[in-house]
Amino acid sequence: MITHAPNRRGRGASLVCAALAAIVMGGVARDAAAQSVTAPELKAAFLFNFAKFAEWPADVISLNSSLVLCVAGDGAVADALDKTVRGHQIDGHSVV
């Protein structure tokens, strides 16, 4: 009976390939995470998305009315919110 020794070269090459793939994927993930979002932009996105998931009763806001999102005391967040909501609607209401 003939037996073969385990192919250590093949296993080593596989480990090297796996390690290289992990390094490359880590670089891709790091680059994706490097797309920085400022704190004001994140806060503005949160406010806009929160408004999308809120229920707005018809007797409180008519269909012709706009949703007015306000920020007090933080001009950077207010500017970011203005850019975030510009041209968007929530349940048929323009957002200002």
3-state secondary structure (DSSP) of residue 10: helix
State residue 47's pLDDT score.
Answer: 93
Element (H, E) at 15: helix 8-33
Task: Name the residue ranges covered by the structural domains of the chain.
Answer: 1-35, 39-94
Give per-residue pLDDT as tens, 30-89.
555 567 999 999 999 999 999 999 887 878 888 788 889 999 999 999 999 999 999 999
Distance CA 41, CA 43 (A): 5
Task: Report the sign of the C-alpha dihedral through residues 42, 48, 49, 54, in that order.
Answer: positive
pLDDT given for residue 91 in this prediction: 87
Q: Which residues of 38-74 are buried (b: 16+ CB within 10 A; e: fewer)?
A: eebbebbeebbeebeeeeeeeeeeeeeeebebebeee
